[in-house]
Structure 1
Amino acid sequence: TPLRYKAVVVDGAGRTASDTAATTAGQPPAPEKPTAKRHHAVVHHRRADGDYDGLLLRTADGTTARFAGRDAYGAFAWITPGPGAGAIRFTVEKDGVPDGPERVLDVAVSGEVWTEQNNTTVLKARPESAYPPRDGTKAVLHYHRPDGDYEGWGLHTWTGSADPPEWNDPVLPVREDPFGLVFEVPLNDGAASLSYILHKGQEKDIPDDEALDFSLYGHEVWRVAGDPTYLTPSPGGAFGLDLRAAEATWIGDDTVVWTGEGSGVASQQLVYATEGDLTIENGALTDEGQWLRLVPTELTEAQRSRYPQYAQASAFRVDPRDRDRVGQALRARLIATQRADNGALLGATGVRIEDTRPEGTGK
């Protein structure tokens, strides 16, 4: 509560002087929890016949968008939600006829959803089985210009590129699809990122140099002219924000596995609470609980033999600094989380316990 006060003094000669001051009382407001930065809401849609001509996204407030994008899943459309946007109700139409029921995309939970013709299911995390494995030998950049004018646009590359071009001889698109231009850039062995500039002569798409971090967004991205953020993949976990599900599995030896990697993910951890419960509200945990930090790992031969179903899963081990609390965590409710570099929650799911044997005992 703001407090303001004024002090007045009178001396022996009857002269007065005064001054004011201000302060606050009570508890300061709790700091806002970080949230994922999502500039777009993207709806992916798949039809059995592969016919996406005339497909339209329509929201409850009347906003429409064509399904101009194409990827391995099918087609996708996007809109730019306003500040503070939450749940967006939408339908997918084919030549004016609904291609399924009304669905919901909650921007606080996910910037992308995946739907299917005449199916009520809305996937909030990328269905990895629908996409090919990552190809680390090249980077693929899809470039869309709303004005449809692609004449003269090329790609200048340097760090990470196996064959950096001269400015006046940029990498040219290998093809054009309904979304726009498609650039493919061969990479150096072990490249962690690709530095690039989209340009037309001396005109740059954006003023700043850009860099695609493969560990965050993979090797294939879609960009809209003038916007440095990626349209897709947008920041999101390998699993959605759903603590009722259990998409992570503890397999013992301080190891947890799950399917997929997510995009924009800077860290992952196991979270537990010794008191109370963990819930999600407005895209964040109501209580951050206690963390076991996770580091990427590879399954051992013994683990692959015991759990062949997880041979292709993403695997993580508890950081050695936190392993003394594994027993305590396994006795509590355990969840797996993924976070962006600003700490925003991108994914949260329950953990299914398959093995609680002490580390390395095999008993």
Structure 2
Amino acid sequence: GGAETLCRQTAGALADAGHSVRVHTTTARDYLTWSAHYPAGISTDGGVAVHRHAVSEADPGMASALVRRLALDAGDGDAEMAWARAQGPVAPGLVDAVRGMDAGALLVCWTYLYATTQLAMAAATGPAVLVPLAHNEAMLRFPITRGVMRRADGFAFMTPEEALLVDDLHGIGGRPFEIVGAGLAPARPSEGGTARAAFALPDRFALYLGRIDPAKGIDELLRAHAGYRARGGELGLVLSGRATVPMEFPDWVVTTGFVTEEQRASLIDAATCVLLPSRHESLSLVALEAWHQRTPTLANGHSEVLAGQTRRSGAGRIYLDEGEYARELAAIAGNPAEGQAMGMRGADFASDATWPACVARWERLLSTVAGEA
């Protein structure tokens, strides 16, 4: 997923800058069951040592039932811990490794939401930085989350909107934080022909890139695009990514499955616009990628992060309902000159998303936290 990709890229960038980086993670790949996929043990990824720990399989049904109870304030601390363990991933070896970290080492936990962070933050004996990757959802208000937030000695946020949300709900206080964001690799020459040779693409289309999952707003996107088509909209719809649950699609939808980096860049190049339908984001790497390649975006305005990124960049439009989706997409499709101008503004905005700049922000944060420990 996006969080895991960004974590890996950040670890690699810090290692390339000369820092000693060790990653503790699990053997899982599937975020619903956490079933073992990778072998346990130590491997290397570039200059990063990766320790994979065995994980207990989750209970998605119980986790779903408990989170509904807790969201209605119908649970207690025991129910919260049961939810955390049912959702997972629970990896005792990972928690033991955190507990036994060398003196002087800094712990950085990615995403507030999962048991790896909930248990590791509680086990940490030294300074700990939290990368919340927070968005406005019920779980962000749970008491167990308050405990994670209180334990953090510093915060790495992706966007100003995320920092404001966490501060409003939990209070950052005087603790150090940075809007670290993300870095992008230098743009490589790309042509839409590569994707067109691999997939049966419409002449003109809107593109969704990412996990094909109802949690990412795919169901709402399909309804909105059907409404756009009913109003005479000409753009096709292409969904590119791995489906996490079985889904059926109308015959006017093209699905590509998992794609290579070259195909991904080619799809962005060929698209009239890139769609960002999720209501829950802490940062959209897909938006930055699209703008990096001068492709405008259409984003769900119910996500304050997406709306904020779009307004700051001037590189896309936002929508709040199906009618606005149809109107805004038609406006992008019907005015190529405006789309080109938005794409140019996006490229200017994304030019600041470099790994050297991102590493410098991380170094500033980690030095401050270490100095205050």
TM-score (norm 2): 0.25
* Bigger strand share: 1
TM-score (norm 1): 0.26
* Pair member with larger Rg: 1
